[in-house]
Chains A and B, each alone.
Chain A
Amino acid sequence: MELFGISGEIFLAIAGMATLLSSVFLNKDSSYRITLRLCNLSFLITIILIFFSHSHSGSLFNGSFIYDDLARFAKILILIGTMLTLIIGYKSQKLDNFNRPEYPVLILFSVLGMLLMASSNDLIGFYMSLELQSLPLYVIAAINRDNIKSSEAGLKYFILGALSSGLLLYGMSLVYGAVGDTSFSSISMASSDGMSNLMLIGLVFMLSGLAFKISLVPFHMWTPDVYEGAPTPVTAFFAIVPKLAAITILLRFTFTAFDNAISSWQQIIIILSLLSMILGSFAAIMQFNIKRLMAYSSIAHMGYALVGLSSGILEGISSVLIYMVIYMIMNLGAFIIILSMRRDNQSVEEISDLKGISQTHPFIAFSFVILMFSMAGIPPLAGFFGKWLVFASAVNAGLIPLAIVGVLTSVVGAFYYLRIIKIMYFENNEVKLDVVDNKSSMIILGIMIISTILFGLFLNWFLEVTMGISSSI
């Protein structure tokens, strides 16, 4: 019964291996469809298991696995995000002809790594789960291996990911050398009476490694290339799910391991966040490819999320969590639309391809308008509340200049979001865009649009939940 806390992860691991085995015996045409459904089913069961098993907090394996409210919230969000990205990518994957049964299985193992990462409370456990999370991602970035861009994206991601793992590991070894133990609680104890220089250098290396994974400036170089090169369903997964896991471990890392050294990491996070917001907003102006645009937009969004973290107060944690929920909703919606952009049975990715879509596909154009307004932070929509909460927590912590830069860069961001709307509504194109008619994607898009519009009504509930989480850390 002791293992009930980790039952969700154990189930997911066994389900993954069973799915892998079953895909061997299925015939080629149906194996992708069936493994995808099996994976989604196991995600669903895992959500239920995690919901019940994490209802009270505790830890397992000498404290290297911890289950609490933060882990539960992050895991359920990760699993829902993965299920939805798998569903919206299904059709395009089939049309582009790389529907291999290994794809959902690799995603499943990656998600397993993310779940373990959200629960890790120990440097070794954290590193191992991070590797379990990233290895499948390198493979699925290159899954369309006959496409030279996809292979390039996979290779680039692999090399830079290995470099970032090296940075992380080096930092961990320094911290271990200074503390003499790997658990987060001993690090917290050791840092309670001031940080030694060795620990400080270790902290910088570890934060750099983590910043690589969330693609914060100046560790963002891989993001636009990988997002552009990887097949679009994979890009949707990259943009949404791994960031949720990485932000969770960053929260746990800063607020449980280094909770006594807030002033040491606060300035690093502030600089990362400032640079990400500025570069993410300005570089996106020059982009013509919509996937590259989304990459820069995600860099900027991570910068905004870190504004909440850098405040170093409990309110900040809750604002980061809400920001990640909103980020997931907006990105899912945007990627459904990007996935459905096709012409002559080829997927197209230029922003100018959206010209005149308001006449041919009014629903898609309208949804895109709502999502873009929300990303720009126009008041009644979800994105506004996310930005408002993170900036409010920054102001409450006395970081007024950071909040001012955030507001200014979101004005710059509004420019390129609004430019897409202008292209859709006020420019005409002779060549029309075919939009793939995919019922389940359109239903999900509808749900995302409704939740973007009505997010304000549920804000109090979210605030209550996330404040509960942040006070329990």
Chain B
Amino acid sequence: MIISLFFYLFSFIIVSCAVMVISSRNPVHSVLFLILAFFNSGALFVMLGAEFLAMMLVIVYVGAVAVLFLFVVMMLNINYSQIKDGFQKYYPIGSLIGLILFIEIILMINGDNVLVSQKDSLTNNVPNTHQIGAILYTDYIYIFQISGLILLVAMVGAITLTLRDRPGVKKQNIIDQNARKVSDVITIVKVKKNET
């Protein structure tokens, strides 16, 4: 009883936050609502017994993605009223597609051809963080290694496309600094008296 009460509470907050994300006028508020929605979906995952997913959702989406959004929103001066201009025009077709997707989801839930079932792994005593760790580095080591390479490529690509050598930027060169001697840079000039 209490569990289903909490489920409806969290779901209600998620849905209303999602509505606020797209309808609020201030983009900073949108991002903050998005963060609240992420927190509540994390709570739903905890209720399902998937504490690892909940942790990841909070760490990755709230900690990294949403904060990045916040930075982008605050640093780029985008004219949001201009972006929302087409809202009226695209409203009918957008809501039509939304309706179709909604009907599809209902059909999918009612249909019996979905095989994915509740596995017993969620009910036994081993925490699922342990379980994920146990198969991620053994059965799925191949996939894990490829994802590592993808991240490396993403890093190299981002640096390749953005790093520029600007002329005139002063950099510290430690070897040069250490190799500098007093005799190289200071010359003592004796000034004779009575000479002008």
Residues of A at the B interface (CB closer than 8 Å) are 13, 17, 20, 60-62, 64-65, 100, 102, 105-106, 109, 112-113, 116, 124-125, 128-129, 131-132, 135-136, 138-139, 142-143, 145, 154, 176-180, 196-198
The smallest beta-carbon distance between A83 and chain B, in angstroms, is 20
Known: A13-B149, A109-B152. A145 touches B161 (CB 8 A): yes
- Assuming A100-B160, A135-B153, is B113 touching A128 (CB within 8 A)? no
CB pair B150 A128 closer than 8 Å: yes
Q: Which residues of A contact B147 (CB under 8 A)?
A: 128
Q: A100-B160, A145-B161, A179-B115 are in contact. Are A109 and B153 (CB under 8 A)?
A: yes
What chain B residues lie within 8 Å of A60 (beta carbons)? 142
- Which residues of chain B are within 8 angstroms of A13 by Cβ–Cβ distance? 145, 149
Q: Once bound together, how far apart are the Cα atoms of A132 and B141, in whole Å?
A: 16
Interface size class of B (residues with CB under 8 A): 20 to 34
A64-B142, A135-B153 given; A177·B115 CB < 8 A: yes
In whole angstroms, what is the CA distance A411 to B125 when docked?
69
Q: Among A131, A138, A179, which residue has its beta carbon within 8 angstroms of that of B150? A: A131
Contact A135 B161 (CB under 8 A): no
Main secondary structure of the interface of A (DSSP, over half): helix
Interface residues of B (CB under 8 A from A): 108, 111, 113-116, 139-143, 145-147, 149-150, 152-154, 156-157, 159-161
Which of B142, B150, B154, B161 is close to A125, meaning CB atoms less than 8 Å apart? B142
Residues on the A chain within 8 Å of B111, using CB:
198
Which residues does chain A contribute within 8 Å of B150, judged by CB atoms?
128, 131-132, 135
Report which of A61, A112, A128, A138 forms a contact with B157, defined as CB distance below 8 A: A138
Given contacts A102-B160, A139-B161, A178-B115, contact A132 B142 (CB under 8 A): no
Across-interface contacts of B157 in A (CB, < 8 A): 106, 135-136, 138-139
- Kindly identify which residue among B139, B145, B146, B156 contacts A106, using a CB–CB cutoff of 8 Å: B156
What are 5 A-to-B residue pairs whose CB atoms are below 8 Å? A60-B142, A62-B139, A105-B156, A129-B146, A131-B150
Residues of chain A contacted by B143 (CB below 8 angstroms): 64, 124-125, 128
Residue of A with least CB distance to B148: A13
User: Which of chain A's residues has its CB closest to B160's CB?
Assistant: A102
CB distance from B99 to the nearest CB of A (A): 18
Number of residue pairs spanning A and B whose beta carbons lie under 8 angstroms apart: 76
CB-based contact B142/A135 at 8 Å:
no
A117 to B109, CA, bound (A): 33
The main secondary structure of chain B at its interface with chain A is helix
Q: Is the CB of A20 within 8 A of B156?
A: yes
B137 CB → nearest A CB, Å: 12
A60 to B145, CA, bound (A): 14
Closest to B147 in A: A128
Give min CB distance, A429 to chain B, whole Å.
38
How far, in whole Å, are A285 and B2 apart by their CA atoms in the complex?
Answer: 70
- Shortest Cβ distance from residue A124 to the other chain B in the assembled complex, whole angstroms: 5
Known: A64-B142, A135-B154. 5 other contacts (CB 8 A): A102-B156, A106-B156, A125-B142, A135-B150, A177-B114
Chain B: CB-nearest residue to A62? B139
Residues of B within 8 A of A61 (CB): 139, 141-142
Contacts of A100 in B (CB 8 A): 160
Q: How far is the CA of A176 from the CA of B114 in the complex (A)?
A: 9
Cα of A193 to Cα of B140 in the assembled complex, Å? 30
- CB-nearest residue of chain B to A61: B142
- The answer to whether residues A65 and B142 also contact, given A20-B156, A131-B150 and a CB cut-off of 8 A, is yes
Q: Write the chain B residue with the least CB distance to A20.
A: B156
Chain A residues with CB under 8 Å of B108's CB are: 198
Find chain A residues with CB under 8 A from B116 CB.
176-177, 180
B25 CB to closest chain A CB (Å) equals: 28
Contacts of A125 in B (CB 8 A): 142-143, 146
**Minimal beta-carbon separation of B119 from chain A (angstroms):** 11
Cβ of B124 to closest chain A Cβ, rounded Å: 20
Minimal Cβ-Cβ distance residue in A for B157: A139
Distance in Å: Cβ of A337 to nearest Cβ of chain B: 29
The smallest C-beta distance from A103 to any residue of chain B, in angstroms, reads 8
Set of chain B residues within 8 Å of A105, measured between Cβ atoms: 156
Q: In the complex, A125 Cα to B143 Cα: how many Å?
A: 6
- Residue contact A106 to B115, C-beta cutoff 8 Å: no
A178 touches B161 (CB 8 A): no
Residues in B neighbouring A106, C-beta threshold 8 A: 153, 156-157, 160
Shortest Cβ-Cβ A-B pairs, 10 listed: A139-B157, A180-B115, A61-B142, A128-B146, A102-B160, A109-B153, A135-B153, A196-B113, A177-B114, A132-B150
